[in-house]
Structure 1
Amino acid sequence: MSRIVIALQNDYADWEPALLMAATRYWLNCEVVTASPDGQPVISMGGLKVATDIGFEAINAESFDALIIPGGYAWEQGTAFDFTALATDFRDHGKVLGGICAAASALAATGVLDDVAHTGNSLASHKKYAGYRGEARYLDQPQAVGDGKIVTAAGSAPDTFTIEVLKALGLYGPEAEEELAAFAAEHRRPA
């Protein structure tokens, strides 16, 4: 059973990890653990109050198969957690590391995206971070990008983010494809 930790902080974008959490927990029988900086409840951008399971200090690559970081306004407010140590730990241990929206830019700031194909809300949002050196590997596209065990996406792509994370975990098969196809149906053009 895969263990996935979702790193939440106040003002996180609640729609970004929702489909991934439901798909892995409900359809694929994974253990989904929620974490916050201090283990205390957090409130999403939509006002959803989440009582998390653990604090960020309990996250490590030896205990989890994936670290997923949703975006949100914490970065714009200057209150976001620095994920450098955690991101580097998961990358160095060959574990799945996913960032969507502002969290993709936060991963850019850590340097873990410098040598892999990646995307995000925009290249400009990544370039706001002085430590980012991955411009040559940035893909300007609306769908999520998976490169090995690292997955990034714009905030508008929670469906493809979910699919790419499942692929990175080795969990994307016929059952997951069938269940998730319904969520992407609105994006198909009529014939």
Structure 2
Amino acid sequence: MTAIVVALTPEFADWECALLMAVARSYLGVIVKTATGDGSPVTSMGGLNVTPDLSFAQVRPEDFDALVVPGGLAWENKRVPADLHDLVRSFRDKNKMAAGICAAASMLAGAGVLNDVKHTGNRVASHQEYPGYSGEKLYVDGPKAVSADGVVTAAGTAPFTFTVEILKGLGLWDATAQEELSPFSAEHR
């Protein structure tokens, strides 16, 4: 059975992971767990209080098919758990999917996992703020999520295509997923 862990930071952007979590869990039978830096509850930008299933230290890539990180204000407010980069790299070291949207796409850049794959984000300048980033030539400036070699990135304005690319990358893009998600794209046509 497919399993996803969503790494939550203080003041995470709840809308950036909500569609993925709901469709994956409720319609596709995916195990969806949440984790925070120390396993303590966090509050989203929208005021959603989440008690996580795990701490980052308890997350083992062997137990999950993907690590998904929504953006949020933690980067602006310097409240990002120090071991998030290590967690991302541990997933990539095991050839597991790593996905980041908005500020979390730039965090993937800082972890060094965007240097050799096509990717996107809010803007390349945000990625360049991280010393570990050298993938400018592979940056795709566009309105939709980008998936390459097990890495999915998106600007904060693209939670729909972010969800689609994660599901496709996990081999879960089927008639059920398409039926449940297609209405969410209608507004953007």
Is the shorter-chain TM-score for this pair beyond 0.5, marking a shared fold? yes
CA distance in 1, matches of 2:9, 2:112: 21
Map 1:122-141 to 2 at 5 A.
122-141=123-142
CA distance in 2, matches of 1:148, 1:61: 17
Aligned-pair CA distance for 1:81: 2.0
Aligned-pair CA distance for 1:130: 1.4
CA distance in 2, matches of 1:11, 1:92: 28
Report the AA paired with residue 40 of structure 1: S
CA distance in 2, matches of 1:135, 1:60: 30
Which moves more between the two structures, 76-85 or 131-140? 76-85
Aligned-pair CA distance for 1:137: 0.4
Aligned-pair CA distance for 1:78: 1.1
What is residue 61 of structure 2 aligned with on the other side? 61
CA RMSD of aligned residues (A): 0.8
Aligned-pair CA distance for 1:79: 1.3
What is residue 42 of structure 2 aligned with on the other side? 42
Identity %: 55
CA distance in 2, matches of 1:185, 1:62: 37
What is residue 29 of structure 2 aligned with on the other side? 29
Map 1:105-124 to 2 at 5 A.
105-124=106-125
CA distance in 2, matches of 1:80, 1:88: 16
What is residue 142 of structure 1 aligned with on the other side? 143
CA distance in 1, matches of 2:25, 2:98: 18
Displacement over 6 Å in runs of 4+: none
- SS of the aligned residue for 1:62 comes to helix
Q: Which runs of 5+ in 1 are unaligned?
A: none
Report the AA paired with residue 99 of structure 1: G
Per-residue CA deviation, residues 112-171 of structure 1 (Å, 9 max, x unaligned), is 000000000000110111111000100001100000211000011000000000011010
CA distance in 2, matches of 1:98, 1:81: 17
CA distance in 2, matches of 1:66, 1:89: 11
What is residue 100 of structure 2 aligned with on the other side? 99
CA distance in 2, matches of 1:180, 1:79: 32
